[in-house]
Structure 1
Amino acid sequence: MIGVLGGTFDPIHFGHINPALELLRTLPLREIRFVLARNPPHREPPLADAAHRWRMLELALQAHPRLLPDDNELRRDGPSYTIDTVRALREEVGDVQSLCLILGADAFADFTAWRSWREVLEQVHIVITARPGSSLPTDGVVGRLLQARRVPAPDDLSRRPGGSILACSLHLMDISSTAIRKALAGGDDAGAMLPATVLRYIREYGLYQVTPRDL
């Protein structure tokens, strides 16, 4: 099984890395691909350009052989839609390999608003990450989808290439890229929130040196 974690990673931080490592211990995953979004369609453009964000991603994951940077979306022009990435990954790994799209609970709540979301779910499993005791949607299309497709155990994901939903309780960190950018712009110490290699890169290239209101 291969995990897929998408994001702008602007910048990559421990709030991305540590839950991924916990998932490697919890699920029978061979690896987790960190797919860098070049041009996310439903949010503001990233502050750092794609080349800087890619290099920071490479630096952050160097110490973790089973966490792999993936440039799938960097090789495409236009908006970075998940369905296009899923199709490309499925073509790469074949029809038998289980793929697990990793989503936070907030992202999953909006899943049925995504482009071609039904095809996404047929091509991959969804792994929802949430804090212990967090509630998941019970109403509407998303709630019914969760009820219909949810499986109880990680091993259930290995039995087919996609189509199931698993909820995982993880020790999620209260860290955001926005908070890191504000700390860096204000001259505050962000060393506890992201790898030292990434922090050195940010300082070397003067990234995120703008006023906090621009972040």
Structure 2
Amino acid sequence: MAKIGIYGSSFDPITNVHLWTASTVAHRCHLDKVVFLPCSSKRKDKRMMTADEHRWNMVQLGIENNPTFIADDYEMKQDAWKISTYETLKHFKEIYKNDVIYFIMGADLLVDIAEGKWDHAEELIQENKFIVMARDGIDMLKVISNSPLLRNNDDGSTFHLLDKGLAMEISSTYIREEFRLGGEPRYLLPEACYHYIKEHSLYK
């Protein structure tokens, strides 16, 4: 029985922090695979700066040569009305029927779920397991204990909280701004992705 982490993000673009975070989570939580899941530009709660095609290509370039990392374009292929984390995790549990699936997310998203901002929130928490990464200023245990939804559906293994050394804040937004303003973010993202962005004149 393998342990699979689903790591969803816009990856616009994928950064070295994304890769370092995924590698660290895999090491600490003994994951056999991390699935990089770029979200679709059709999602109503996201505004993408880059076409799905380019983000998908950069994810594949960024994770090549690491056998623990795989990319999946499941959400990119879905109709907008079908896209939700609950449905996505249900899909991966069908794909990896004999394995344990974890959704990897930041503590800021845990707050959003606690506040009822996610579709199918109750079923999502009842039926899935989560690896939650610390974010500055968020007390993850307090978020869980203050939320009836989270605390009443936590059987002790629902949330794996990682609260040490994962709060690096080099964001995709910062890198996009550097490209747009003529900066030099070369060493903040995979070398192949840097050259891909230059070749395709992205983020100008």
Smaller-chain TM-score bracket: 0.7 to 0.9
Structure 1, unaligned stretches of length 5 or more? 152-156, 158-163, 210-215
Where 1:32 maps in the other structure, the secondary structure is strand
Q: Which one-letter code corresponds to 1:103 in the other structure?
A: M
Structure 1 partner of 2:23: 21
Q: Which one-letter code corresponds to 1:191 in the other structure?
A: R
Where 2:186 maps in the other structure, the secondary structure is coil
**Counterparts of 1:51-66 in structure 2 under 5 Å?**
51-66=53-68
Q: Which one-letter code corresponds to 1:62 in the other structure?
A: E
Give 1:93 shift.
1.3
Give me the whole-angstrom Cα distance separating, in 2, the residues matched to 1:98 and 1:31.
Answer: 11
2:123 equivalent to 1:128: no
Give me the whole-angstrom Cα distance separating, in 2, the residues matched to 1:21 and 1:133.
Answer: 24
Structure 2 partner of 1:74: 76
Give RMSD over aligned pairs.
2.2
2:175 equivalent to 1:167: no
Contact 1:15 1:175 in 2 (8 A): yes
Q: Which one-letter code corresponds to 1:206 in the other structure?
A: S
Give me the whole-angstrom Cα distance separating, in 1, the residues matched to 2:121 and 2:49.
Answer: 28
**Counterparts of 1:1-215 in structure 2 under 5 Å?**
1-38=3-40, 39-44=42-47, 46-79=48-81, 80-94=83-97, 96-111=98-113, 112-130=116-134, 135-136=139-140, 138=142, 143-148=147-152, 149=154, 151=156, 164-169=158-163, 170-209=165-204
Which stretch of structure 1 is more off in the superposition, 59-68 or 138-147? 138-147
Give me the whole-angstrom Cα distance separating, in 1, the residues matched to 2:151 and 2:123.
Answer: 18
Cα pair distance change 1:37/1:86, threshold 3 Å = same
Where 1:138 maps in the other structure, the secondary structure is helix
Q: 1:7-40 CA deviation, whole Å, 9 max, x = no partner?
A: 1111010221111100111012111111110133
Give 1:192 shift.
2.2
Q: Which one-letter code corresponds to 1:174 in the other structure?
A: E
Q: Which one-letter code corresponds to 2:66 in the other structure?
A: H
Contact 1:31 1:68 in 2 (8 A): yes
The runs of 4+ residues in structure 1 deviating greater than 3 Å are 131-134, 139-148
Q: Which one-letter code corresponds to 1:202 in the other structure?
A: I
Give 1:143 shift.
3.3
Structure 2, unaligned stretches of length 5 or more? none
Give 1:74 shift.
1.7
Where 1:192 maps in the other structure, the secondary structure is helix
Q: 1:50-104 CA deviation, whole Å, 9 max, x = no partner?
A: 000000000000032111111111221215311221121112112x421100110
